[in-house]
Amino acid sequence: MIRIRELSKRLGSKQVLKDCDLDIESGETIVVLGPSGTGKSVLLKHIIGLMHPDLGSIEIEGENIVGMSEREINQVRKRFGMLFQGSALFDSMTVGENVGLSLREHTRMTDAEIARRVSERLEWVGLKDVEGMKPASLSGGMRKRAGLARAIAMDPQFILYDEPTTGLDPIMSDVINQLIRDLQRRMGVTSIVVTHDLISAYHVADRLAMLHGGKIVFSGTPDQVRATTDPMVRQFIEGSSTGPIQPV
């Protein structure tokens, strides 16, 4: 379980997160919704310790990661996989080297074992015979899937998805949505998805949470979101430019 309490973060003159509270149950897929620039990615980066909050706590299975040393937080990070918005594949490496990097760095697996695991994880995300290719030669959808294969290489307990369908065509977005569901079923992972893509959100979410003004203003199942009369949520799901949410 992940428990976030009173998380606050200021970046320059902007208060991005302010007393943000969120509970994420083990095994669930939670989607954090919100307009662009509301701090969704910042929240995600706090959960994996890439950013440090000004105030508040983040407990991963009861362990507060705020204030941990780099060495301690690295032990926590090994239980996470993260798919970045632009995939963040390492340009200088092949796809196979990208997917196998964590295994090479953190396990005593042999080269043959790593190669087998890499092929298996690439196959899970629907990629075959791409191990020797450079990321630059992959399409956007393939890069996302390769990034996802890298995120699941170490059998993580938690997977973080930062805008997994941004920049993809509707068909490829659906492929990614299916993968998120499949991986949750297959690996039993806890998934946190940050997106403003409502189709994707309804497809993958057990629960949706809406971030606005630096805090979670609504949390509920997809059906509860569809039925809510909360003006902020309604404005967001209806895609209206008029309402309590002011376009930035």
Partner 1 sequence: MAAEDLALRGFEYIRRRAFDWVADVGRVAMLLGDVCRFLVPGLRSMRLVVAQMEAIGVGSLWLVFVISLFTGAVAAVQAAYQFSNVVPLKYIGSVILRSVIIELGPVLTALVVGGRVGASIAAELGTMSVTEQIDALRAMAINPVRYLVVPRVVAAIIMMPVLTIFADAIAVFGGYVVSVTSIGVSTHTYVSALKQYFYYKDLFSGLLKAGFFGGIIGLMGCYHGFSTEGGAEGVGQATTRAVVAACVLVLISDYVLANVLFRFIFAS
> Judged by CB, which is closer to partner 1: 45, or 203?
45
- Please report how close the Cβ of residue 82 comes to partner 1 at its closest, in angstroms: 5
- Please report how close the Cβ of residue 126 comes to partner 1 at its closest, in angstroms: 21
- What does residue 61 show for φ and ψ, rounded to 5 degrees? 50, 45
- What's the maximum distance between 2 C-alpha atoms anywhere in the chain? 58
* Residue 155 CB-half CA count within 13 A: 6
Which tokens in the block code for residue 138?
């992959």
Interface residue with partner 1, options 13, 69, 92, 241 (CB under 8 A): 92
Interface residue with partner 1, options 57, 85, 107, 224 (CB under 8 A): 85
Indicate whether 80 belongs to the interface with partner 1 (CB under 8 A): yes
- How far does the chain reach from its first CA to its final CA, in angstroms? 33
- Please report how close the Cβ of residue 102 comes to partner 1 at its closest, in angstroms: 5
Size of the site for partner 1 (CB under 8 A): 24
- Please report how close the Cβ of residue 156 comes to partner 1 at its closest, in angstroms: 10
- With CB under 8 A as the contact rule, which of the stretches 13-21, 32-40, 78-86, 201-209 interacts with partner 1? 78-86
Binding site for partner 1 (CB under 8 A): 45, 48-50, 70, 74-75, 77-78, 80, 82, 84-86, 88-92, 101-102, 105-106, 150
